[in-house]
Amino acid sequence: IAGITQAPTSQILAAGRRMTLRCTQDMRHNAMYWYRQDLGLGLRLIHYSNTAGTTGKGEVPDGYSVSRANTDDFPLTLASAVPSQTSVYFCASSLDSNTEAFFGQGTRLTVV
């Protein structure tokens, strides 16, 4: 069982380019999340989805969009990347929104 798979592992992206970070889980979890982790700031929630077909904004949603067409996949899209979006991005899932979350290995994104 893979759990949560994120792709790519790392990416260097030119500013202004569009980028989609992929996230897939095989645990049939209802809820999925995207966080960004920056040095000294811990984890900040970007977007979440409590069930397939629904999404919501977290603490820092600007510049990002998500979709949840099915239970397993929760891609995160940067429409036009900016250097301040340089970060490590973690996807996570949980059975529902108040149970423990399981995390992917992260995507290290550098916007230059």
Partner 1 sequence: GDSVTQMEGPVTLSEEAFLTINCTYTATGYPSLFWYVQYPGEGLQLLLKATKADDKGSNKGFEATYRKETTSFHLEKGSVQVSDSAVYFCALSPLDTGRRALTFGSGTRLQVQP
Is 1 near partner 1 (CB under 8 A)?
A: no
Q: Is 74 near partner 1 (CB under 8 A)?
A: no
Among 43, 72, 75, 95, binds partner 1 (CB under 8 A): 43
With binding defined as CB under 8 A, does residue 87 bind partner 1?
Answer: no
Q: Find the shortest distance in angstroms from Cβ 84 to partner 1.
A: 19
Q: Which stretch binds partner 1 (CB under 8 A): 13-21, 37-45, 62-70, 72-80?
A: 37-45
Find the radius of gyration of the CA atoms of the chain: 13
Check: CB of residue 103 under 8 Å from CB of residue 23.
no
